[in-house]
Each structure stands twice: as structure tokens, then as C-alpha cells.
Amino acid sequence: MPAPRGSRRSLPYYGYARQDRKDVGRVPITAKLVANLLTIAGADRVLALDLHAAQIQGFFDIPLDHLQAAPVIDEYIRTLNIPQSELVVLSPDEGSIKRALIHQKKLGGAIAIMDKRRSSATETRQANLIGASLEGKVTVMFDDMISTGGSIIGAARLAREFGAKAIYACATHPVFCGPCIENLKAAPIDEVIVTDSIPLPPEKQLPKIKVLSVAPLLADAIQRIHYNESVSKLFQ
């Protein structure tokens, strides 16, 4: 049933966000189609959390507020009390460098980058390490989502080979599709830190998975929008 005009929609996880461009012929840009469907359904404003590609904001003909889960995740990382001299923020691939730098600026520590090679749409492999040494360090990785887990697990294995003594993998959206859960069980990751943007069924819950709530963040953003206050101040 169409939503009444004047309605808002909160989309902690924006589906089809990875289909934001035509990489081969006859492939639809479904992220744009979904944006059109939401508008036609009656929404006049949308809140989304950590879009896979920032340009998706331009797909909407209505206002979109792009929220970030970084404050929630960083707050939890601080509770781990990792010494600055031991902390290395690791980007699992070149596309996550900007995200890693944002977290490193807030958390401190050193920065390192994994050089990733993609062999297919679902398979990747990490090849080289660029930046700070991981020997005897606590490595923290950040990504927008974990789907099959190939990138983050590959980076974790290579980080362990380079001498990391502890590895934390952080992501906003726990998609966890295909063999991801089984792969995470065997992965050399001490803790997987995600948000509740996607509810996890019991079969996808592991002792090493820590779920953080983004409800207060969304509630604060909605309140600021309602009272015409700045949303960007949430992330300063």
C-alpha cells in the first residue's frame, strides 16, 4: 500500500546499493530503480546508513541524509583500551582507504593498506601490505559491509601472516551471505563488530560477533530533522 505523502523512510541498510553502475552490458542500475520506487511510494525524505557508494545520494529526487555508523563503532573500539603504540588501522583494500583514514584520525594509531586483487565478482585475494608494520600489533579493519566475507577474511589471514597479535573486523552491515558464517568461524579474527542495521537470525550469531545498536544514532538524526537542526553535527 503506498505510503502517504509527507512520510519519511529510515533505511539503515539500502538494498541493491552495490548495483550503482553498469560494469557490463545489459546490467541495470538497480540502486537508481529502488530510489525511484521509494519516491513513487510516497516518501519525501530518506535516511540511509553507510551507503556502499556515496554517489547513490544523487540517485534520489528527494532529500537523503547519509548517516555514518563510525561514531558507534569507534566508541566501542575505545572501550577495548588498545594502546596507541600497538594499534594499526588496516584498510582491507584500496577502496576503503578513505574510511580507514577517518577512523584512524579518531582512534589514533598507525595506518596500513592491503593491496587486493579481484579474480571474479565474488572472489578476491590480498597480495601485499603497504604502510605500518603489523608485527606484534593489534589490527582493526573497517568496511561498509561483510557479504561473503572474502575481502575481510583474506585481509585478516594476511595480517596474521605479517605478525598481527589480535585482529578486529568492523563493518556497518552484516549481510553474511553464502558461506560467510562458516568462513568467519575459521577466520583468524578475534572479534567481528557489526551494527544491527540488518537483524541477525540465530543461525548467523557467533560468539565472536559483537552487534552494536544504531537505534540511538537514528533516533537522534530523526529528531534533528524534525526540529530543523544540523544532522552533520552528529559526526563532527
Mean pLDDT of 4-13: 70
CATH number for the domain whose boundaries are 70-213: 3.40.50.2020
Decide whether 7-68+216-235 matches 70-213 in CATH topology: yes
What pLDDT, on a 0 to 100 scale, did the predictor assign at position 126?
56
210 as an active site residue: the answer is: no
pLDDT of residue 1: 39
The CA–CA distances, whole Å, from 203 to 15, 177, 182, 195, 200 equal 21, 12, 11, 17, 8
Cβ pair 122, 114 in contact under 8 A: no
Catalytic annotation, pick one of 98, 105, 116, 185: 116
Burial of 190 (0-12, 13-18, 19+ CB in 10 A): middle
Say if residue 122's pLDDT is above 90. no
**What per-residue confidence (pLDDT) applies to 152?**
93
- For residues 224-235, give the mean pLDDT: 90
pTM of the predicted protein model: 0.89
Which stretches of 82-190 are assigned E, i.e. beta strand? 87-91, 110-118, 124-131, 138-146, 166-174
Least confident of 49-58, 93-102, 118-127, 174-183: 118-127
Q: Give the pLDDT confidence score for residue 101 in this predicted structure.
A: 95
5 pLDDT more than 80: no
User: Are 114 and 158 a contacting pair, CB within 8 Å?
Assistant: yes
pLDDT at 120 over 60: no
Q: How many residues does the structure list for the chain?
A: 236
Question: What phi, psi does 65 have (nearest 5°)?
Answer: -100, 115
Does the pLDDT of residue 32 top 50, yes or no? yes
What confidence score (pLDDT) does residue 135 get? 97
Extents of the domains making up the chain: 7-68+216-235, 70-213
Q: Indicate the burial class of 179 (C-beta count within 10 angstroms; 0-12, 13-18, 19 or more).
A: exposed
Asked if 43 contacts 9 with a C-beta cutoff of 8 angstroms, the reply is: yes
Tell me the CATH number for domain 7-68+216-235.
3.40.50.2020
Q: Is the pLDDT of residue 217 over 70?
A: yes
Q: Across the chain, what does the average pLDDT equal?
A: 90
The side-by-side arrangement of strands in the sheet containing 64-67 is 7-11, 43-49, 64-67
Please tell me whether residue 144 adopts helix, strand or coil conformation.
strand
